[in-house]
Amino acid sequence: MLSTFKSSKHQQHLTQLPKIPQTVADIKTLYSPEDFYHTLMETISNARKRIYLVALYLEKDQGGQRILEAVYKAKSNDPSLDVTILVDWHRAQRGLIGVTDADTNADWYCRMAKAHPGVDVPVFGVPVNTREALGVLHLKGFIIDTQVIYSGASLNDVYLHQQDKYRYDRYQIIRNPSLADTLFAYIKQKLLTAPAVNRLDNVARPTNLEIKNDIRLFRQTLRRTAYHYQGEASPNELAITPLVGLGKKNPLNKTIHHLLCATRDTLTLCTPYFNLPTLLMRDLIDLLRLGKQVEIIVGDKTANDFYFPEDQPFKIIGTLPYLYEINLRCFLSRLQRYIDNDRLVVRIWKDADNTYHLKGIWVDEEWQLLTGNNLNPRAWGLDLENALLIHDPAQALRPQREQELNQIRTHTQVVQHFTILDSITDYPVKIRKLLRLLRRIRIDRLLSRIL
């Protein structure tokens, strides 16, 4: 009886969230990075009012080049278009991990601006903290006219499947003027007005030291900001609640907690990095103890974007996929009885040497969360995150939901026993030695919190 009462309280919290009405005909789920790329390019070329792209990064490779050129072309064809690109300030001013190339994305933005005189496509850098390791811009959602193209993907070759490899994510196209205006207003009023936010396509941009105090004040402000909109949807219609947050106790984190605890029967959770915050770990265990059905879909360690094959130079960040696998193995060893009685289903995603970057939550065929949040301590406390919580009481989205989940499960293997996963003794010698050293000096915990 007590557990039913607690679940009802969590369900009540979700029900009382303000929601924007949504028509089912105006939600389209895409099922591959190729479709995502082509849809994004087509939508940019057909824009009539505004193009606002927000991503962790826009990379200076073929995929990024095509996107940026498409934006420049759209602006050139229609100078009245309101165009802005926002990326993380720190990420744009460094090279790729393990690459010594001194030419950064910011340098490329400057060259593109110089190559298109008279065509203004501002690229702003958003510094969420004074250092990249302590917080990044992790907002998702491209706003083009009245559409929101929502995905956890950034903009480069692998996310857009431009070469021989892809990074798998989720992709939703949502036509909703109120939703688009809500996300747009947050960008215009909360981000672009901040002194800490500066253009990256300007060689005279300030240094980190010059805006250090501005960044600190900006972070404090972000902790208090939220999306503002009129929640006019009834409890019985398809609707969306946009959420944004920074810091452990932000509204997005609280809603994720309520969402898990509101599960009546079934929960599916996807994350590329199995390193859940303690609160969410407890929530999952409580659901299993209450007899709920829990499905977790994670990437294989070799499908992790931090994984370095043994024939490539090794970097310390390459230990992360192994740390995540150790976390998962430990978690399953404690809960093997739930695997045995089919209450807990864990799937490991692997497709050749492609990578997995997919995250999301589905609850009882009634709720689903679209988010770039990795559901890890970093997302929980350091990064600026957002999400779209979809309420579907009449199951109008059921065909799309089932097709998406079936597609996600395609390249997965069900874990029948925790021993199927490698243990530390199975890892390459250099990995074993490094992991033992990190554990001895407890840096592994720090790495899992900030990466």
Give the helix ranges, DSSP H, for 78-139: 105-115
pLDDT higher than threshold 70 for residue 445: no
Q: Is the pLDDT of residue 252 over 50?
A: yes
Confidence of residue 1 (pLDDT cuts 50, 70, 90): very low
For residue 50, pLDDT beyond 50: yes
pLDDT at 226 over 80: yes
pLDDT confidence of 310, banded at 50, 70, 90?
A: confident
Task: Give pLDDT, residue 97.
Answer: 63
How many whole angstroms separate alpha carbon 372 and alpha carbon 87?
14
93-97, 188-192, 330-334, 443-447 — which is least confidently predicted? 443-447
Contact between 261 and 6 under an 8 Å Cβ cutoff? The reply is yes
pLDDT of residue 437: 82
* Residue scoring higher pLDDT (438 or 434): 434
pLDDT of the residue at 2: 41
- Would the CA dihedral through 322, 161, 105, 357 be positive or negative? negative
For the chain, give every domain's residue range.
25-223, 239-450
Helical (H) or strand (E) element with 427? none
Residue 101 has pLDDT above 90, yes or no: no
- The per-residue pLDDT for range 345-374, each reduced to its tens digit, is 999 999 999 999 999 999 999 999 999 999
Above 80 in pLDDT, residue 86?
yes
Mean pLDDT of 324-349: 97
CA atoms within 13 A on the CB side of 90: 19
Residues 6+ apart with CB under 8 A from 99: none
Structure tokens at 66: 């095509």
pLDDT average, residue stretch 43-58: 98
Looking at the annotation, which residues are catalytic? 138, 169, 357, 385
Least confidently predicted of 91-100, 202-211, 216-225, 403-412? 91-100
User: Looking at the predicted structure, is the pLDDT value of residue 438 above 80?
Assistant: no
Who wins on pLDDT, 80 or 101?
80
pLDDT over 50 (residue 92):
yes
Q: What is the CA radius of gyration of the chain?
A: 22
Please give the pLDDT value at position 241.
98
Using pLDDT thresholds of 50, 70 and 90, give the confidence band for residue 391: very high
| Mean pLDDT to the nearest integer, 75-103 | 88
pLDDT above 80 for 4: no
Interior CA angle at 160 toward 159 and 166, to 5°?
55
Residue in the structure block whose two tokens are 């589905």 = 362
HSE at residue 276, side-chain half, CA atoms within 13 A, is 21
Bridge-based pairing of strands 171-175 and 147-151 is antiparallel
SS3 368: strand
Q: What is the pLDDT of residue 100?
A: 53
Mean pLDDT of the chain: 94
CATH, domain 239-450, list 3.30.870.10, 1.20.140.10, 3.90.220.20, 3.30.465.10:
3.30.870.10
Report the alpha-carbon distance of residue 412 to residue 348 in Å, rounded: 5
Is residue 450 very low, low, confident or very high in pLDDT (cuts 50, 70, 90)? low
Q: Is 279 left (phi over 0), alpha (psi -120 to 50) or beta?
A: alpha
Query: Which of 87-96, 322-331, 425-434, 441-450 is predicted least confidently?
Result: 441-450
At residue 314, the pLDDT reads: 77
pLDDT score of 446 more than 60:
no
Residue 206 φ/ψ region, left for φ over 0, alpha for ψ in the -120 to 50 degree band, beta for the rest: beta
Tokens of 26: 């105006």
The answer to whether domain 25-223 has CATH 3.30.870.10 is yes
Closest CA to 235 of 8, 394, 387, 388: 394
Tell me which of 363 and 430 has the higher pLDDT.
363
pLDDT of residue 172 exceeding 80, the answer is yes
**What's the CA gap between 398 and 253, in Å, rounded?**
26
